[in-house]
Amino acid sequence: MTDLSVLDLSPVGEGSTPAQSLANTLDLARHAERLGYKRYWLAEHHNMPGIASAATAVVIAHVAAGTRTIRVGAGGIMLPNHAPLVIAEQFGTLAALHPGRIDLGLGRAPGTDMMTARALRRNLDASVDNFPRDVVELMAYFEPADEGQRIRAVPGEDEDVPVWILGSSLYGAQLAAMLGLPYAFASHFAPAELDHALEVYRTRFEPSQHLDKPRVMLGLNVIAAPTDAEARLLFTSLQQAFVNLRSGRPGRLPAPVENYDHDLDPVARTMLNQALSCAVVGSRETVKQGVEAFIARTGADELMVTAQVFDHAARVRSFEMLADIHRDLSKAA
């Protein structure tokens, strides 16, 4: 049966603070662990008032220290923003502190606007075109050090840190297949190339020391509530956030709005229908049918579920309902 995991952007709601968001993140992670979710991943975004996980490795350390068994990782680290050695040391340290529980997903986008990317890197010589080389360099730091090796990641060398390639296009699919690595596709916000990317990854996959057959994780927006109407209302927070972001007005996660989509202009409506087409929103039965259909269509090995819900209690309830649905689907499989 398809595994179930959590992607948390540590959302900062209107009227709230990053401190509260990070406290909510740890609380949700503890619930996810209790409910049987496999992983809890956090993502690197910068200069976004509505996301509190910019210092991703620090937040991962916070979550891993506050849980006991669930795998914790990055979905992902935007590698062009960093020297590979720095990431090897950070995640090597996390793996030393929490053996067997740390994952590292790598992406090649900046996770921000280009002005902020320049502030992060000081220059843009660390081009996305270097991404394959940087991935290979980073993975080499996790290997046992050779005799006389002059540059070593300590902690890092000989640590168990599984590496995933993230993507929203064919580029990541090709790289993951070539390196024999697991692949995570960002279908929760960029689903256009989903089917093509899956075909490329699965048909071109080359077995490696890391993985003997393709393994696909797919992002999916899931918001479950007692009724379809309540779930659709909760979903309007994410819809508003997307419209604001794509309109150049990023902000904190808005409160839900009744009938939000009724007054949307056609351009915004089309954008939302495309960007958020991989979303399952509704009551228990609606979500069960939607998740089951998504798995059947894609053959996903794992779902990385995200839920940008304004009210933390409603977000926890959504993940509780989904875990219960997943158990039912597992029994029926």
**pLDDT number for residue 111:** 59
- Cα–Cα distances in Å, from 304 out to 41, 241, 288? 8, 20, 16
Question: The tokens of 280 are what?
Answer: 């399952």
Stretch 194-209: mean pLDDT: 98
Q: Taking residues 268-281, report their average pLDDT.
A: 96
**Would you state the pLDDT for residue 148?**
86
How many C-beta atoms surround the C-beta of residue 246 within 10 A?
14
User: Using one digit for the tens of pLDDT, what is the confidence trace for 3-30?
Assistant: 999 999 999 999 999 999 999 999 999 9
Give the pLDDT confidence of 118-160 residue by residue, as tens digits: 776 656 565 557 899 999 999 999 999 888 889 999 999 999 9
244 pLDDT higher than 90: yes
Q: State the DSSP code for 10.
A: -
> Using the 8-state DSSP alphabet, how is residue 115 labeled?
H
Closest residue by Cα to residue 201 from 186, 226, 187, 180: 180
Rounded Cα–Cα distance for residues 128 and 113 (Å): 14
Mean pLDDT within 222-251: 96
pLDDT in tens, 37-49: 999 999 999 998 9
Q: What is the pLDDT of residues 288-318, one digit of tens each?
A: 999 999 999 999 999 999 999 999 999 999 9
Sequence-ordered strand ranges (E) for the chain: 3-8, 39-42, 71-78, 102-107, 163-167, 183-185, 216-224, 279-282, 302-306
The number of CA neighbours under 13 Å toward the Cβ of 114 is 4
Closest CA to 93 of 153, 41, 40: 153
Per-residue tokens: 258: 């009744």
Round to whole Å and give the CA distance between 57 and 41: 11
| C-alpha span between 303 and 215 (Å, rounded) | 11
Q: At 331, is the pLDDT very low, low, confident or very high (cuts 50, 70, 90)?
A: confident
How large a percentage of the chain has pLDDT more than 90?
87
Amino acid, res. 12: V
The domain 1-161: what is its CATH number? Answer: 3.20.20.30
Q: Which pLDDT band holds residue 1 (cuts at 50, 70, 90)?
A: confident
Half-sphere exposure of residue 81: CA atoms within 13 angstroms, side-chain side: 24
**Sequence ranges of the domains in the chain:** 1-161, 220-333
Distance CA 67, CA 76 (A): 20
Structure tokens at 174: 């090709």
pLDDT at 332: 80
pLDDT for res 234: 98
**Average pLDDT for residues 165-177, to the nearest whole number?**
96
